[in-house]
């Protein structure tokens, strides 16, 4: 009997069909959840005064976009939170990498600093937000500082561990090929720690957003955190959800960008076997 | 091309701390010399300390007692006149084939304009034209080994150290690589110390085969291989001359292999 492999067009059609199925089921889950919330709230089984409802959230977003919020334009507030988180994130990632790689490459320095790092890591860092507001005032700098502190440690620990795990054989090979200590760090150790570092970046943008928002809770003049605090004070659950939705959009966009960056930086890795194909 | 160096091991002993905390002695009063341009194979039972001898000569480790010297100077650190081919893949996974081959010249601060043609030449020599932009994970084991060879040889090492370089390859690829190494080496004139536990490979390649005792390693016997060059490793192993040499050396090696095997049976956890 002749072999009858599927043609490329047929495989493509199968894959498209599978994708459509998955997406429509995902949509169905969302409709079911939001729909039952809406119905329960409309029938007063869930009190909309405390629990809000999807239509209320959309209405609230519409009001904010059309008329602005009590603390100014929604876009300005979203932008403030976004840049606080972004600056904190960038500072935390850069310094986390520098300190992590440096300490892992200098064991004596690592030994000296180990207890201090342990102590500072064990402090519940969100509490530092109060200190930062006292030190740096109600402006954005105190939020950037809190976001930075939250991002720094996970990146630092991953960079440190990734550097430690760099293959000794590769380091020996590089040295025999003539690499200086500095070249070993930049050309061998850093690339091999990169997959650890990018892994920590995925979680830490979320931490940066938490830092910015908690900072705004503790005292601010603008930002989505302040908007949430204000909505809470006015017994407006829809306002809290609406701000949450905007934050979630930011987090997902950042996650997408970080994944893109990761793919670029780690393009030398073998492609992961994907379970969804065929 | 490059001129080989003179190598001397004088009364070299080396011990390591085991994870359990006691000492393990890998080398005991090891003495031998290699003349400039000589190809020497070091054979011995598994775990006898062959690789340790190589790492001392490469400057990756220091001897506990005694001295390893190259051209009369004691080896204290890594010397960039030395090339090293590792047992397992040590190519840099984030560099393309071309960048892997060019890593040595780049680390040494050469001008890319100068070494790029050299990289191309070595890629051609090891038969990887067309794979310049590939990453190591896209290559087969044999191809990775070729990258490793080109990576070491592009620096024209005066001393080439090889630690069971082909042991991870399948038998067929292995004999092809042995021939290729032969062709590449015959034009360089560098001194080679080649560690292997494959006696056939050792005889086919080397001018001299040194047999080590079961660890701690000492020189048990030293054979000169009087087979004419250029040799074809794939065919030479069927000649009568070859078989005779093989038998002679195997007589000596067998006892040590037995000792090492008995020890493994008694203490399976120990190296």
Answer with the residue of higher pLDDT: A46 or A103.
A103
Average pLDDT of chain B is 88
Q: Rg of chain B over CA atoms, in angstroms?
A: 19
pLDDT above 90 for A198 = yes
* A58 within 8 A of A207, measured Cβ to Cβ: no
In angstroms, rounded to a whole number, what is the distance separating the alpha carbons of residues B92 and B101?
A: 10
Q: What is the pLDDT of residue B174?
A: 85
B69: three-class secondary structure by DSSP: strand
Q: Which residues of B147-160 are buried (b: 16+ CB within 10 A; e: fewer)?
A: bbbbbbbbbbbbbb
Q: What is the pLDDT of residue B271?
A: 43
* B126 within 8 A of B150, measured Cβ to Cβ: yes
Q: Which of A17-26, A200-209, B47-56 has the least mean pLDDT?
A: B47-56
Phi and psi for B46 in degrees, rounded to 5?
A: -60, 140
Q: Over the stretch B224-259, which tens digit does the pLDDT of each residue have? A: 998 888 888 778 888 999 999 999 999 989 888 888
Interface contacts A/B by beta carbons within 8 Å:
60
Q: Over the stretch A31-41, which tens digit does the pLDDT of each residue have? A: 999 999 999 99
* Cβ contact, residue pair B104, A178, below 8 Å: yes
Task: Give the chain A residue whose CA is nearest to the CA of B161.
Answer: A176
Phi and psi for A97 in degrees, rounded to 5?
A: -65, -45
Written as one string, the DSSP assignment of B170-221 is -HHHHHHHHHHHHHHHHTT--EEEEEES-HHHHHHH-SEEEEEPSSSB-EEE
Domain covering B7-81+158-270 assigned CATH 3.40.50.300 in the classification: yes
* Cβ contact, residue pair B95, A268, below 8 Å: yes
The CATH code of domain A53-274 reads 1.10.3720.10
Q: How many CA atoms lie within 13 A of A128 on its CB side?
A: 18
What is the DSSP pairing of strand B208-212 with strand B39-43? Answer: parallel
pLDDT above 90 for A7 = no
Phi and psi for B219 in degrees, rounded to 5?
A: -75, 125
Quick one: B255 exposed, middle or buried, by C-beta within 10 A (0-12, 13-18, 19+)? middle
Q: Which residues of B189-199 are buried (b: 16+ CB within 10 A; e: fewer)?
A: ebbbbbbbbbb
* Cβ contact, residue pair A187, B107, below 8 Å: yes
In angstroms, rounded to a whole number, what is the distance separating the alpha carbons of residues B134 and A266?
A: 14
Would you give per-residue pLDDT tens digits along chain B (271 residues)?
457 899 999 988 888 888 888 888 888 888 999 999 999 999 988 777 888 999 999 999 888 998 999 998 999 999 888 999 998 889 999 999 999 999 999 999 999 999 999 999 999 988 899 999 999 999 998 899 999 999 999 999 999 999 998 888 888 888 888 888 888 888 888 999 999 988 988 999 999 999 998 878 888 889 999 888 888 877 888 899 999 999 999 998 988 888 888 887 876 554 4
Q: Over the stretch A114-126, which tens digit does the pLDDT of each residue have? A: 999 889 888 888 8
Closest CB to B108: pick one of A169, A178, A188.
Answer: A178
In angstroms, rounded to a whole number, what is the distance separating the alpha carbons of residues B167 and B87?
A: 7
Task: Give the chain B residue whose CA is nearest to the CA of A180.
Answer: B107
In angstroms, rounded to a whole number, what is the distance separating the alpha carbons of residues B11 and B9?
A: 7
Among A167, A171, A176, the residue to mutate for chain B (most B Cβ within 10 A): A176
Rounded to the nearest 5 degrees, what angle is found at the Cα of A42, between the Cα atoms of A36 and A45?
Answer: 75
Closest CB to B78: pick one of A169, A176, A268.
Answer: A176
Q: Which residue ranges make up each domain of chain B? A: 7-81+158-270, 91-156
B107 touches chain A (CB under 8 A): yes
* B211 within 8 A of B256, measured Cβ to Cβ: yes
* Cβ contact, residue pair B137, A270, below 8 Å: yes
For chain B, the distance separating the N- and C-terminal CA atoms, rounded to the nearest angstrom, is 40
Query: pLDDT band at residue A2, thresholds of 50, 70 and 90?
Result: low
Q: What is the pLDDT of residue A278?
A: 38
Q: Which residues of A217-237 are buried (b: 16+ CB within 10 A; e: fewer)?
A: bbbbebbbbbbbbbbeeeebb
* Cβ contact, residue pair B58, A174, below 8 Å: no
B84 touches chain A (CB under 8 A): yes
* Cβ contact, residue pair A268, B155, below 8 Å: no
pLDDT above 60 for A275 = no
Closest CB to A268: pick one of B78, B90, B135.
Answer: B135
* Cβ contact, residue pair B107, A178, below 8 Å: yes
Q: What is the pLDDT of residue B2?
A: 56
In angstroms, rounded to a whole number, what is the distance separating the alpha carbons of residues B249 and B260?
A: 17
Closest CB to A268: pick one of B86, B93, B107.
Answer: B93
* Cβ contact, residue pair A269, B137, below 8 Å: yes
Q: What is the DSSP letter of A125?
A: G
The H or E element spanning position A9 is: helix A8-42
């Amino acid at each position: 009997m002749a072999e009858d492999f599927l043609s490329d067009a047929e495989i493509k059609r199968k894959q498209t069909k599978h994708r459509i199925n998955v997406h429509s089921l995902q949509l169905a889950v969302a409709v079911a959840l939001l729909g039952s919330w809406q119905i329960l709230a409309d029938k007063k089984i869930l009190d909309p005064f405390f629990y809000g409802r999807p239509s209320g959230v959309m209405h609230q977003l519409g009001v904010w976009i059309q008329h602005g919020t009590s603390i100014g334009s929604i876009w300005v507030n979203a932008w403030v939170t976004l840049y606080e988180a972004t600056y904190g994130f960038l500072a935390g990632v850069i310094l986390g990498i520098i300190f992590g790689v440096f300490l892992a490459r200098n064991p004596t320095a690592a030994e000296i600093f180990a207890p201090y790092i342990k102590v500072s890591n064990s402090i519940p860092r969100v509490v530092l937000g109060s200190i930062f507001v006292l030190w740096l005032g109600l402006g954005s700098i105190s939020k950037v500082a809190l976001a930075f502190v939250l991002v720094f440690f996970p990146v630092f620990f991953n960079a440190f561990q990734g550097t430690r795990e760099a293959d000794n054989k590769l380091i020996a090979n590089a040295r025999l090929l003539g690499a200086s200590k500095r070249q070993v760090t930049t050309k061998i150790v850093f690339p091999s720690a990169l997959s650890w570092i990018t892994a920590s970046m995925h979680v830490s943008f979320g931490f940066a957003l938490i830092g910015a928002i908690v900072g705004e809770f503790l005292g601010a003049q603008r930002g989505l955190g302040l908007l949430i605090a204000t909505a809470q004070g006015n017994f407006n659950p829809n306002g809290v959800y609406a701000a949450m939705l905007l934050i979630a959009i930011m987090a997902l966009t950042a996650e997408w960008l970080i994944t893109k960056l990761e793919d670029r930086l780690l393009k030398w890795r073998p492609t992961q076997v994907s379970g969804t194909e065929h | 091309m490059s001129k080989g160096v003179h190598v001397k091991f004088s009364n070299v002993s080396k011990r390591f701390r085991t994870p359990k905390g006691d000492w393990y002695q890998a080398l005991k009063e090891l003495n031998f010399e290699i003349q400039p341009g000589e190809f020497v194979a070091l054979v011995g039972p598994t775990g006898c300390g062959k690789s340790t001898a190589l790492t001392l000569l490469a400057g990756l480790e220091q001897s506990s007692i005694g001295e390893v010297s190259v051209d009369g100077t004691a080896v204290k650190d890594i010397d960039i006149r030395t090339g090293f081919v590792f047992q397992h893949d040590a190519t840099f996974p984030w560099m393309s084939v071309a960048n892997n081959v060019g890593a040595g010249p780049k680390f040494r601060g050469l001008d890319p304009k100068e070494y790029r043609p050299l990289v191309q030449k070595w890629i051609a020599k090891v038969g990887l034209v067309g794979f310049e932009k590939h990453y190591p994970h896209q290559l087969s084991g044999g191809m990775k080994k070729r990258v490793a060879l080109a990576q070491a040889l592009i620096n024209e090492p005066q001393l080439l150290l090889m630690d069971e370089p082909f042991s991870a390859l399948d038998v067929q690829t292995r004999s092809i690589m042995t021939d290729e190494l032969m062709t590449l080496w015959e034009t360089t004139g560098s001194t080679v110390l080649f560690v292997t536990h494959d006696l056939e490979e050792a005889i086919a390649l080397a001018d001299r085969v040194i047999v080590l005792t079961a660890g701690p390693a000492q020189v048990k016997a030293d054979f000169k291989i009087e087979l004419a060059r250029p040799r074809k490793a794939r065919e030479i192993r069927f000649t009568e001359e070859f078989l005779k040499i093989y038998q002679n050396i195997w007589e000596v090696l067998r006892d040590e292999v037995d000792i090492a095997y008995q020890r493994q049976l008694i203490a399976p956890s120990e190296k």
